[in-house]
Amino acid sequence: MATTTVIDRYGVMGHPVSHSRSPVIHRLFALQTGQKMQYELLHVAPDNLETAVRQFQRTGGKGLNITVPHKRAVINLVDLISERASTAGAVNTLVFRGSEIHGDNTDGIGLLRDLDVNLDVALEGSNILILGAGGATRGIVGPLLEMQPRSLCIANRTVDKAEVIAANFERYGPISACRFDAVPVDEPYDLVINATSAGLQGETPPYPEEAISGETFCYDLSYGLSPTPFSTWARDHGAARSVMGWGMLVEQAAESFEIWRGVRPDTVPVLKQMQINA
Ligand code: ATR
């Protein structure tokens, strides 16, 4: 009698999604840890999100990554949400448990692991500036404040959006908001994070030059085959180091993989491979 092996299915849903490196990363993790699973790229328009998620679940899917622009909308579909996803107001990982959908967010922990473990950036007592006040910022503010920085300022083109996030998070630590042209510079910044999506359109907004010194570590949440506009801008303005977000990408994937499979992959060789192939 022929036996059929059912392989556990995972995937990433986004719009657009064709550029996503998640399938490559999860295949490398699966190979490394001997996990039998497949990981698909799923292009899903906003109108179709609920149908697509429920269909994936019905047809035996075990888990999903959720990316732009669905990270907030998908909250309406989950039965249980983790505290970190709830605080961030965004979900990037779904787990299907029986008929239930559990939502989590691994973006913040992914960034922290990259900064702390891979790049050895000290966050406790540091002065941090985040550029941008969208979904990406919401995902990282809580975990960054947990590291007890001395200050965390969010600068945004539309200052109201930065103010709303600062107000939401003020009970977690010393957070403030401002415009790009009014960034406080009484003390030098140790870390400047670009969380705007400007680079995706190839744009370099008037980022605050005065925030960069020879002590400043600059980190772009975006990553690309060639240096992103922000990473080039930061290097040109004398930053101590200027790094793109490959490490966060691999680390958030590792966290999702562990949630799904109960095994933690070694991110170092995968990160090396992604950067070599970049
Ligand atoms: P994401 O989920 O990637 O954070 P988002 O929620 O659409 O995406 O947020 C995009 C962020 O990039 C916002 O902070 C946006 O600034 P506004 O709030 O003023 O719109 C910022 N951004 C995008 N393009 C920009 C540009 N050309 N100049 C400055 N900021 C830009």
The CATH number that applies at residue 113 is: 3.40.50.720
Residues 209 and 102 in one domain: no
Mutating to test ligand 1, I would choose from 197, 201, 222 the residue with most ligand atoms within 8 A of its C-beta, which is 197
Is residue 96 situated within a structural domain? yes
Number of domains, the chain: 2
**Cα-to-centroid distance, 227 and ligand 1 (Å):** 19
Pocket of ligand 1 (CB under 6 A): 68, 132-136, 156-158, 161, 195-198, 203, 205
Is residue 209 situated within a structural domain? yes
Q: Which residues are catalytic?
A: 71
CATH code where residue 98 lies? 3.40.50.10860
Residues 88 and 214 in one domain: no
Average pLDDT, the chain: 95
Q: What is the pLDDT of residues 36-65, one digit of tens each?
A: 999 999 999 999 999 999 999 999 999 999
**Cα-to-centroid distance, 249 and ligand 1 (Å):** 19
Residues 102 and 191 in one domain: no
Domain that holds residue 158: 108-247
The beta-strand segments (E) located in the chain are 8-14, 37-43, 61-66, 80-81, 93-97, 100-104, 127-131, 151-155, 175-178, 191-194, 217-220, 241-244
pTM of the model: 0.94
Residues 85 and 135 in one domain: no
Is residue 273 situated within a structural domain? no
Residues 46 and 92 in one domain: yes
Q: What is the pLDDT of residues 213-256, one digit of tens each?
A: 999 999 999 998 889 999 999 999 999 999 999 999 999 999 99
> What are residue 39's DSSP bridge partners?
10
Residues 63 and 123 in one domain: no
